[in-house]
Amino acid sequence: MPDIRTALLMAVGALGLVFTVRYGRAIVAESGVRRWPSVVQLLIGVVVNFFDTLGIGSLATTTTAFKALRMVPDERLPATMIVGLTLPVATQALIFITVVQIDATLLALMIATALAGGWLGAGVVSQLPRRPIQVGMGIALLVAALFMVLSQLGLMPGGGAALSLSAGRLWIALAINFIFGALIMLGIGNYGPTFVLLSVLGMDPRAAFPIMMGSGAFAALVGAMRFLKAGHVALRPALGLTLGGIPAVLVAALLVKSLPLDAMRWVVVVVVIYAALVMLTSAARRTASAPPPPAS
């Protein structure tokens, strides 16, 4: 009988295979449009997934790129990003669950709560109209920028050396991670929040990697299949994220041992704040241009 860690790896592989089949069917079913991504879309996939593997995150940067290039309608942004980034994140999960040794039971429980949250979150987000998505993603980007700034200024909790949690702290972590799983579906990356959560609870910050990648992979896999079923995905740019992302993950995780990221993180903060303001401004303009309700 496989141990917990092996079972998690097998589950990622099995879910990834099911998702890949459904993803492929959705792409084949798109008739009358170009299916293969452009060079720019592939490059976006390479860049955002490379830096995601190194801890910068991909949801905020992908939102910024798609918004700046007007590549995906706002109401399709969450679904397109989750579907496109799912297989690269699953690749990260396979690597970090294997490499970083933490309590396997804790890892499995954290992944399970994120998965449940992702399933619930995808169902909600897939039903939302454009304006709530614009507002939600604008706020999500500002939250992501806040975590980046706190990290850059050294204001994030330093963490401890533990690789497991006591029962009381475990329940707190599981409840909060359920929320993180749901928020992933709105485009809120879970690395910064997971890092803070585990550090406050006294864990080794390195433990955030398998928990974040594993939670993100499982939440994305189940959420992405709901998004595909709902049909709210711009498949061509999503495929660019996938095809550009998987090799970028492998290079970043297996070949890049060190990289000066401080300056890059400040650049990312600026562009993320810009994207947040653009998103919120679009939502405000949409509200201002909406016709008044009919008189009763």
Digit-coded pLDDT (tens) for 107-152? 899 888 988 887 887 777 666 666 776 677 677 667 767 776 777 7
- Give residues with Cβ within 8 angstroms of 44, minimum separation 6: 62, 65, 66, 237, 240, 241, 244
Can you give the pLDDT at residue 239?
A: 94
DSSP string, 73-138: -GGGHHHHHHHHHHHHHHHHHHHHHHHS---HHHHHHHHHHHHHHHHHHHHHHTT--HHHHHHHHH
Please report whether residue 295 resides in a domain: no
Residue scoring higher pLDDT (110 or 57): 110
Show the tokens assigned to 239. 């495929």
Please report whether residue 12 resides in a domain: yes
Can you give the pLDDT at residue 157?
A: 61
Q: Is pLDDT at 290 greater than 80 in this prediction? A: no
Please report whether residue 263 resides in a domain: yes
The amino acid at residue 79 is A
The count of structural domains within the chain is 1
Please report whether residue 291 resides in a domain: no
Average pLDDT, the chain: 80
pTM: 0.74
Please report whether residue 208 resides in a domain: yes
Can you give the pLDDT at residue 19?
A: 95
Please report whether residue 30 resides in a domain: yes
> Mean of the pLDDT values across residues 256-284?
66
Domain of residue 240 covers 4-284
Show the tokens assigned to 133. 């998505």
Q: Is pLDDT at 174 greater than 60 in this prediction? A: yes
> Mean of the pLDDT values across residues 9-29?
92
Please report whether residue 294 resides in a domain: no
